[in-house]
Structure 1
Amino acid sequence: MPRFSPAERWVHRTTALLLGMCVFSAGCLYLPALAELVGRRALVVTIHEWTGILTPVPALLGLVSRAFRADLTRINRFGPQDGVWLRAALRRDHRRQERPAGKFNAGQKLYASYIAGAVLVMAGTGLLMWFTGLAPLVWRTSATFVHDWLALAVVAVLIGHIGKAFADPEARRGMRTGRVERAWAAREHPLWRPDEDHGDGREDGRGDGHGDGPGDGHADAEHQIGGHERRVR
C-alpha cells in the first residue's frame, strides 16, 4: 500500500544528504583526527556553510506537493492518541496496543518538529558566525555557544533516528519505495486512514464534521483511543 509520494521521498533523501554533509563537515572542523584525515580546511568550511544554508530548501520546495503538505499537517497536529503513545513511551511500555498512532506516531512528530526547529536555529546562528559584521561580538559569542551545543544535540537525535530506522526494515522500505505492507501499517499505525492521504491530514479520530457516521471509521478510532486512555488510567 502507498505511504509516501515521490516528492516526499525526494525531500527526505535530499534533506538527509545535506544534513549528513553538514554534520560530517562539522566533525572535520571540530575533531582533530578528522581534520588531519581530510585536510583542506577552507574547502570544508565552505561545504559546511553552504550545506547548512541549503538544508531547509528541499522542504520549502516540497511545499508544491499536496501529499507533502498533507503530511506536514499531520505532523503538526497532536491528537489524543499521541498523548497515549507518549505516556506509554515514558513508562517504557512497548506493547503495540498501548501505542496507538496515525500515519505518524508521537515520537516521529516530536522528532520532525525538533529537527525543523533546530535547522532554523542552526542556520540563524551560523549566519551570525559566517557574516561577522551582522552583529556585535557578544551576539556572535552567544551564537557560537548555541550553535555548538545544539549541533551535539542534533547529532545525538540523528543517531537515535537512524537506529530506529535500522530496527524497522519495513519503515525503511516505505521511505525507499513509497510502499509498505498493510499488515505493518495495521500493526504500527492502526489509526492511519490511507484513503484520506490527500485530505486535510486529520487523524485524531474526531472527523472533520463532513459525513461522519458509524460506517466511516471515525467512531471506531475514537473508541479505540478511549480504550487506550482508560487502560492507562
Structure 2
Amino acid sequence: MSLRADPRPAAAEVRRFGPAQRWIHRTTAALMGVCVATAACLYVPQLAELVGRRALVVTLHVWAGLALPVPALAGLASRAFRADLGRLNRFGPHDRTWLRAALHRDKRHASRPAGKFNAGQKIYTAWVAGAALVMLGTGLMMWLTHLTPLFWRTSATFVHDWLALTLGIVLAGHIGMALADPEARRGMRTGRVSTEWANREHPLWRP
C-alpha cells in the first residue's frame, strides 16, 4: 500500500468526531477520573485523612468502576462509533511504519503515516480497554467476597492494585500528550480539526 496520500480539498476544517464519539469519550473520562481519584483517596494515607468518609469513597469507587463500560456499550448504537472501533481494531503496514518512526524518534511526518488513528492511539486504546476489563473482574472478586475463595481475593487484590498504578501512569501520559496537542483536543471538544493538521498528522485519513 502506498504511504502517500492525495492532498485533501482546500477546506479550512474537517469533521473528526460526531456527538456520539465526543460524549462517550467525555463520560468515560469522567468515570475514569472518579475511579482514579477515589483510588488515590483509598491508598494514599494523607489523602485518606484529608477526605475521610471512607465508606462513601469506596461506594463511589465501586459504582464508577461498574459504570465504566456503560458509555462504550451504549455507544454501539451509533454507526459512527462502531466505525471508529473498527478503525482502532485494524493494524496495517502503515501502523508498523509509524511505530518504527516513533521508536526512532523520527520527526519527519512523511515517515509517520496514519489513518484516522495512529498506531500509538490504537495500542493505547486496546491496552486501556483490556486493563479496564481486568480491573472490573478483579474488583468484583474483591467486592463480592462471599462468592470467591480467599486465595482468589488475595490474588485479585494484588493484580488490581498494581494494574491501577500502571493505568494511572498510562493515563497521565495520555493527558500529557493531549495537553501538548491543542488541535487534537479541539477535535474532541468541538468535533472539527483544521485540514492542515489532518494532512500532517493523519495523511491516510479520508473523512
TM-score, normalising length: structure 2:
0.93
- Secondary structure class of the residue paired with 2:15: coil
Mapping of residues 150-229 of structure 1, within 5 Å:
150-194=163-207
Residue of structure 1 aligned with 2:143, choices 110, 130, 142: 130
Partner of 1:17: 30
Listed as ranges, the gaps of 5+ residues in structure 1 are 195-233
- Secondary structure class of the residue paired with 2:116: coil
Identity %: 72
TM-score, normalising length: structure 1:
0.82
Q: 2:108 & 2:46 partners in 1: Cα distance?
A: 43
1:150-202 deviation line (CA, Å, top 9, x unaligned): 001100100000000000000000000000001100000000011xxxxxxxx
Residue of structure 1 aligned with 2:82, choices 69, 73, 76: 69
Mapping of residues 6-45 of structure 1, within 5 Å:
6-45=19-58
How big is the shift at 1:133?
1.3
Aligned length: 194
Letter in 2 for 1:134: L
Partner of 1:148: 161
Q: 1:138 & 1:94 partners in 2: Cα distance?
A: 49
Listed as ranges, the gaps of 5+ residues in structure 2 are 1-13
Q: 1:97 & 1:168 partners in 2: Cα distance?
A: 19
Partner of 1:229: none
Partner of 1:86: 99
Q: 2:106 & 2:166 partners in 1: Cα distance?
A: 25
- Secondary structure class of the residue paired with 1:180: strand
Q: 2:85 & 2:107 partners in 1: Cα distance?
A: 26
1:25-67 deviation line (CA, Å, top 9, x unaligned): 0000000111111110000000000001101110000000000
Residue of structure 1 aligned with 2:113, choices 100, 118, 124: 100
Partner of 2:73: 60
Say which structure, 1 or 2, has more relative contact order (CA 8 Å, 6+ apart).
2
